[in-house]
Structure 1
């Protein structure tokens, strides 16, 4: 009948739009995507109570990576909601879901909301001066990717800022448990500004291309009452405290507009 893809924003249960809430309340099934992002401190039971619905189902990594078949089947003849922290179409995972629904001739309605992609403007940097967004993953034994460094360098050389999305690990399995087929999951992990900058500085030592020079911003819990924004050189920022998840990072262009400079002073360490 229809698949609703609804953005929840970044703050709390109150950030859903009036249109989005109406769609939730008229739907037969409601799924909360809990793989690419989270609303810290809010679970599906809290959201269900706030939205006046009986149940919200968790769309975890297993459901999302298996193609959301259950959700799409239900959406053929019923109204189904897919709730996403931030905006529904900021992750390729969700654009893929949109495409698969349309291939099955299931109507899709998208209700947008704030995401880190536009809320990053809170630090005073001008959105049109951002280049390609990068994701910084946790390093593991034998796996230390650094292609994100080259993308930041490319942006810097073009006079552009870089928004860095920091890794989250939710409902992950160890290699041993995965191989043995055991449904045992590791505790959630959320990359901090400090961890991201430590990796950045380690790559900088090897490549020495100047990515870690100049101003950077650390951001935590954007859109919430307790959001934290701090600016400073990478070495100083790595020592700053940002509190709980979610964190993100901005590596600035070498030359800031005078308005950006003025804004940055309010967050300077």
Structure 2
């Protein structure tokens, strides 16, 4: 018996691959984890309708500590599937559970799903090979914004690389960071540091609801993106590095970037 992980993609239950769907239908127990990411087109009812069986939603405590132990114990006797947003091991919580299952002799299959890491280059036209380190922008817990994202943008840009910034999700409190929230936090760090890494004239790309028909992609200066209507979450943010001429054209055609702004980046 084994513990299997199945990635669901980014937007709805329709992102499940046929292989993942077949594995879920054959399993003894099926769980879904929805706290590490938001899939706006997914409901538990629609997921159960597609699979044709009961699906149990997991909370954070179910995948960590004693909760994780219970799932592994179950997987030692039954075929257990955990459905997760995106690709299974982008979230370290899932990897830790998988490793424990492998140690206990019940490590199962991993069925991959579309990841934000591959989808963002596709919808923006920025080269996958030119993305540097990815970072998450988190809500400030003690008053001032974390400087980690600012540092990552700075380091990546020095190397000519693009920066993908994932935005904080705190589902239990109903908090989903928006592009405007993230930009304001970065500008507050700039105000302290004054290194010119993120100013109101810096080129950035906002992306909302990747994987859905209502995906929104917009490239512009930070000051323009602050008031742009991206709509509901989830949102992510990209700070481009050095642009190849094909990437520059893609930002104009795919991300509605002002042509004069992109041309100024090429000089």
Scaled by the length of structure 2, what TM-score is found?
Answer: 0.90
Post-superposition Cα deviations, 1:50-107, rounded to whole Å, max 9, x if no partner, equal 2111x11111122123352222111101110010111001111111111111111113
Is 1:88 equivalent to 2:88 in the alignment? yes
Is 1:212 equivalent to 2:198 in the alignment? yes
Between the aligned partners of 1:41 and 1:257, the Cα distance in structure 2 is 34
Contact 2:99/2:107 (<8 A) preserved: no
Aligned to 1:262: 249
Contact 2:203/2:240 (<8 A) preserved: yes
SS in 2 for 1:6: strand
Aligned to 2:240: 252
Structure 1: tracts of 5 or more residues without a match? 172-185
Please report how far the alpha carbon of residue 41 of structure 1 lies from its aligned counterpart in structure 2 after TM superposition. 4.0
Aligned to 2:55: 56
Contact 2:145/2:185 (<8 A) preserved: no
Q: Please list, as runs of the form range in 1=range in 2, the aligned pairs for 1:58-73 lying within 5 A after superposition.
A: 58-66=57-65, 67-73=67-73
Contact 1:16/1:113 (<8 A) preserved: yes
Q: Please list, as runs of the form range in 1=range in 2, the aligned pairs for 1:132-147 lying within 5 A after superposition.
A: 132-142=133-143, 144-147=145-148
Aligned to 1:12: 12
Is 1:200 equivalent to 2:186 in the alignment? yes
Aligned to 2:265: none
Between the aligned partners of 1:39 and 1:202, the Cα distance in structure 2 is 30
Contact 1:34/1:61 (<8 A) preserved: no
Q: 1:224 aligns with which of 166, 187, 212?
A: 212
Please report how far the alpha carbon of residue 143 of structure 1 lies from its aligned counterpart in structure 2 after TM superposition. 5.7
Is 1:235 equivalent to 2:214 in the alignment? no
Is 1:152 equivalent to 2:140 in the alignment? no
Between the aligned partners of 1:140 and 1:244, the Cα distance in structure 2 is 23
Please report how far the alpha carbon of residue 147 of structure 1 lies from its aligned counterpart in structure 2 after TM superposition. 1.7
User: After the TM superposition, which of the residue ranges 31-40 and 117-126 deviates more from structure 2?
Assistant: 31-40
Contact 2:145/2:186 (<8 A) preserved: no
Is 1:75 equivalent to 2:75 in the alignment? yes
Please report how far the alpha carbon of residue 194 of structure 1 lies from its aligned counterpart in structure 2 after TM superposition. 0.3
Instruction: Please give the root-mean-square deviation of Cα atoms over the aligned residues, in Å.
Output: 1.4
Contact 1:101/1:107 (<8 A) preserved: yes
Compared with structure 1, are the counterparts of its residues 59 and 128 closer, same or farther at alpha carbon in structure 2 (3 Å cutoff)? same
Aligned to 1:178: none
Scaled by the length of structure 1, what TM-score is found?
Answer: 0.90
Contact 2:13/2:41 (<8 A) preserved: no
Structure 2: tracts of 5 or more residues without a match? 259-267
Aligned length: 252
Q: Please list, as runs of the form range in 1=range in 2, the aligned pairs for 1:173-184 lying within 5 A after superposition.
A: none
Aligned to 1:107: 107
Post-superposition Cα deviations, 1:173-194, rounded to whole Å, max 9, x if no partner, equal xxxxxxxxxxxxx3x1100000
